[in-house]
């Protein structure tokens, strides 16, 4: 049983992964909404300030363009009922400005919304406007914080006689900014709600995919998986749907000849580039299908099984059969000798009885000739087989089968084209195939007029080819596929074993190695069985 971490309990975080993800996404969505609102409000305030200052400047420019205002400034003094005050107030009321102040060259007010301030010096520096420059600013004056525009006041002769200063209350700017906030918050709230809904839907999907596990559980499962994959003594390699490597455990790296250092960098690499073209890549990528498929990688004989995954990829397992092949080769050699000895038992007994009879009759010379003939025949057969078939398992099998054939009165010979080097990947499989075909051929040829069984073993590159011909009645063309089905046989089943397994086993072993097994007609009549095994030699 697992418990939440102390840090999670201290800060009150939920233990379930989906809850943590949902809270994190909601926090991110809220943070983005707040940040976006702040980023929008900051330039909005500056934009409203600029609009207010430009509006104040435009009003000041319009007032300064009135020639009556400049004339009134020159012809009258700073009085509350003078033409300058009347003109400035008319403009202020018409534009909604906070104030329209006209000043002379000394900075003395000639107009003001508060008449008692007419004749007093202005509260802000008028030097720029009196010097002929237009001014926009946000500043504090006697009427509070305002957005201001100041322009020089020019008489009819082009001389600067004063300046016009127009102010717009900053409260109106702030009111516009505050008025925009509710709409902005509505948009932000909508975005936050959409983000929360998306976060909830995403968290539900993650919940289904993670089976509602906590992050600690997921991390524990990942650690356990890594430990298991790298500790088992069976190679595991995972591929995606494009044939790229997802993971390779240590045993698979060893079996495939990949160094442990490079195995960790293979993720994402195409398998065909890592292994190169060949049967191993075909088996692992699914181009060759079946169970317990044999393949060769370097000097190793591997048994591969492939299981597709739901996303279109696959997981393949690899088992090493190299050491087992050496043990099986020794066992089959021993078994072949035992079979040969059993087959020769009756023949040797008959020959010993013959030899004993010759000696008892006093025919010593005939006895010597008889022994020399028997020994020479066995020696020549063994030498012929071992010269053409270099694999000891197959050679022992053929020598034993030749003895059995001789006892049954059916000559067994090797074709002139026979030659097979000692480089078989799966000698046991080829021994099984050859033994079954030779046994069937002996049964078929035993009742013919001129019995004969011929075996041909040869190689073309790394492909092994086996041909077994007999002088029997042959196989009808319509039944040449049927005979390879399990349980089919022309012979009565023995009491101690099931019939109809030999040819089915031959085809199964051939297809397991990526080869074929077929039946046909021999050139001189009878049947010819052919087995082709690609990649059968190292």
Size of the chain in residues: 538
The yes-or-no verdict on residue 229 having pLDDT over 80 is no
Neighbours of 31 (CB within 10 A): 11
Tens digits of per-residue pLDDT, 327-365? Answer: 655 565 566 556 556 655 656 666 677 767 767 777 777
Please identify which residue in the block is written with the tokens 């107030």: 89
pLDDT of residue 242: 86
pLDDT of residue 214: 62
pLDDT band per the 50, 70, 90 thresholds, residue 469: very high
pLDDT of residue 204: 72
Task: Please choose, from the candidates 161, 159, 136, the residue with its C-alpha nearest in 3D space to the C-alpha of residue 148.
Answer: 136
Q: What percent of the chain has pLDDT over 90?
A: 10
pLDDT of residue 529: 93
Please identify which residue in the block is written with the tokens 């089905």: 485
Tens digits of per-residue pLDDT, 32-53? Answer: 667 766 666 666 667 777 888 8
Query: Quick one: CA dihedral 34, 38, 41, 43, positive or negative?
Result: negative
**Collapsing DSSP states into helix, strand and coil, what is residue 525?**
coil
pLDDT of residue 148: 87
The yes-or-no verdict on residue 11 having pLDDT over 50 is no
The yes-or-no verdict on residue 209 having pLDDT over 70 is no
Q: b vs e for 164-193, b when ≥16 Cβ sit within 10 Å of the residue's Cβ?
A: bbbbbbbeebeeeeeeeeeeeeeebeebbe
Q: Are 293 and 303 in contact (CB under 8 A)?
A: yes
State CA 184 to chain mean position distance: 44
| Domains contained in the chain, CATH given | 14-213 (3.30.450.20), 232-320 (3.30.450.20), 324-533 (3.30.565.10)
pLDDT of residue 6: 41
pLDDT of residue 275: 82
- Report CA dihedral (359, 364, 368, 373) to the nearest 10 degrees: -70
Q: Are 58 and 83 in contact (CB under 8 A)?
A: no
Mean pLDDT of all residues belonging to the chain: 77
Q: Residues 416-441: what's their mean pLDDT?
A: 88
Sequence-distant (6+) residues with CB within 8 A of 276 are none
Query: Which H helix or E strand runs over 464?
Result: strand 463-470
What angle do helix axes 215-231 and 17-64 make, rounded to 10 degrees?
130
Higher-confidence residue: 507 or 532? 532
Query: Quick one: CA dihedral 482, 484, 487, 493, positive or negative?
Result: positive
**Collapsing DSSP states into helix, strand and coil, what is residue 503?**
helix
Bridge-based pairing state of the strands 412-414 and 453-460: parallel
Tens digits of per-residue pLDDT, 179-198? Answer: 556 766 676 677 767 767 77
Q: Compute the distance between CA of residue 350 and CA of residue 374 in angstroms, rounded to an integer.
A: 12
Q: Residues 288-293: what's their mean pLDDT?
A: 82
Q: Are 54 and 148 in contact (CB under 8 A)?
A: no
pLDDT of residue 499: 44
pLDDT of residue 531: 94
pLDDT of residue 339: 58
Q: Which residues pair with 101 in a beta bridge?
A: 165
Q: Compute the distance between CA of residue 195 and CA of residue 30 in angstroms, rounded to an integer.
A: 8
* Edge-to-edge order in the sheet of strand 135-141: 99-104, 160-169, 144-154, 135-141
Q: Compute the distance between CA of residue 153 and CA of residue 130 in angstroms, rounded to an integer.
A: 8
Task: Please choose, from the candidates 137, 97, 136, the residue with its C-alpha nearest in 3D space to the C-alpha of residue 88.
Answer: 97
Q: Are 85 and 74 in contact (CB under 8 A)?
A: no
Q: Compute the distance between CA of residue 171 and CA of residue 184 in angstroms, rounded to an integer.
A: 20
pLDDT of residue 3: 42
The yes-or-no verdict on residue 498 having pLDDT over 50 is no
Task: Please choose, from the candidates 454, 448, 430, the residue with its C-alpha nearest in 3D space to the C-alpha of residue 506.
Answer: 430
pLDDT of residue 331: 65
Q: Compute the distance between CA of residue 527 and CA of residue 440 in angstroms, rounded to an integer.
A: 10
pLDDT of residue 219: 66
Predicted TM-score (pTM) of the model is 0.44
DSSP character at residue 119: T
How open is the CA angle 481-486-491, to the nearest 5 degrees? 90
CB-side exposure of 280: number of CA atoms within 13 Å? 23
Tens digits of per-residue pLDDT, 248-285? Answer: 888 888 888 876 555 557 777 888 888 877 778 888 88
The yes-or-no verdict on residue 15 having pLDDT over 70 is no
Region for 211 from its dihedrals, namely left if φ exceeds 0, alpha if ψ lies in -120 to 50, beta otherwise? left
pLDDT of residue 493: 42
Lowest-confidence pick of 258-267, 372-381, 420-429: 372-381
Lowest-confidence pick of 111-125, 129-143, 235-249: 129-143
Please identify which residue in the block is written with the tokens 């011909």: 469
Q: Compute the distance between CA of residue 308 and CA of residue 238 in angstroms, rounded to an integer.
A: 10
């Amino acid at each position: 049983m697992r418990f939440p971490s102390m840090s999670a309990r201290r800060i009150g975080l939920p233990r379930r992964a989906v809850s943590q993800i949902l809270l994190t996404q909601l926090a991110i969505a809220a943070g983005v909404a707040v940040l976006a609102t702040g980023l929008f409000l900051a330039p909005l305030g500056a934009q409203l300030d600029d609009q207010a200052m430009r509006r104040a400047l435009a009003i000041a420019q319009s007032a300064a363009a009135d020639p009556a205002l400049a004339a009134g400034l020159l012809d009258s003094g700073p009085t509350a009922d003078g033409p300058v005050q009347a003109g400035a107030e008319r403009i202020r009321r018409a534009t909604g400005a906070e104030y329209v102040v006209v000043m002379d060259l000394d900075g003395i007010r000639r107009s003001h919304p508060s008449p008692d301030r007419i004749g007093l010096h202005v509260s802000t520096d008028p030097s720029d406007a009196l010097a002929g420059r237009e001014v926009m600013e946000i500043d504090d004056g006697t009427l509070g914080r305002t957005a201001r525009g100041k322009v020089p006041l020019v008489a009819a002769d082009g001389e600067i006689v004063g300046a016009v200063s127009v102010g717009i209350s900053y409260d109106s700017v702030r009111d516009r900014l505050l008025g925009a906030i509710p709409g902005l918050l509505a948009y932000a709230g909508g975005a936050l709600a959409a983000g929360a809904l998306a976060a909830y839907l995403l968290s539900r999907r993650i919940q289904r995919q993670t089976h509602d596990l906590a992050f600690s559980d997921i991390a524990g499962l990942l650690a356990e998986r890594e430990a298991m994959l790298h500790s088992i003594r069976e190679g595991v390699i995972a591929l995606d749907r494009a044939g790229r490597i997802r993971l390779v455990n240590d045993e698979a790296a060893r079996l495939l000849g990949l160094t442990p250092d490079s195995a960790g960098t293979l993720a994402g690499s195409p398998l065909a580039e890592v292994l190169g073209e060949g049967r191993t890549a075909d088996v692992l990528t699914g181009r060759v299908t079946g169970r317990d498929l044999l393949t060769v990688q370097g000097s190793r004989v591997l048994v591969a099984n492939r299981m597709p995954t739901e996303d279109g990829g696959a997981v393949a397992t690899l088992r090493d059969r190299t050491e087992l092949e050496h043990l099986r080769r020794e066992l089959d050699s021993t078994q072949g000798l035992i079979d040969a000895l059993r087959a020769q038992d009756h023949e040797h007994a008959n020959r010993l009885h013959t030899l004993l009879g010759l000696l008892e009759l006093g025919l010593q010379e005939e006895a010597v000739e008889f022994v020399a003939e028997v020994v020479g025949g066995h020696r020549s057969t063994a030498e012929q087989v071992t010269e053409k078939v270099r694999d000891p398992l197959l050679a022992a099998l053929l020598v034993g089968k030749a003895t059995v054939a001789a006892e049954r009165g059916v000559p067994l010979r090797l074709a002139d084209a026979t030659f097979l080097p000692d480089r078989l990947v799966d000698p046991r499989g080829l021994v099984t195939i050859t033994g079954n075909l030779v046994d069937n051929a002996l049964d078929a040829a035993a009742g013919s007029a001129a019995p004969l069984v011929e075996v041909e073993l040869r190689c073309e590159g790394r492909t092994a080819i086996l041909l077994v011909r007999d002088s029997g009645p042959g196989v009808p063309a319509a039944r040449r596929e049927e005979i390879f089905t399990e349980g089919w046989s022309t012979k009565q089943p023995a009491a101690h074993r099931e019939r109809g397994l030999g040819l089915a086993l031959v085809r199964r072993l051939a297809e397991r190695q990526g080869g074929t097994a077929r039946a046909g007609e021999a050139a001189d009549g009878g049947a010819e069985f052919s087995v082709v095994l690609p990649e059968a030699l190292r």
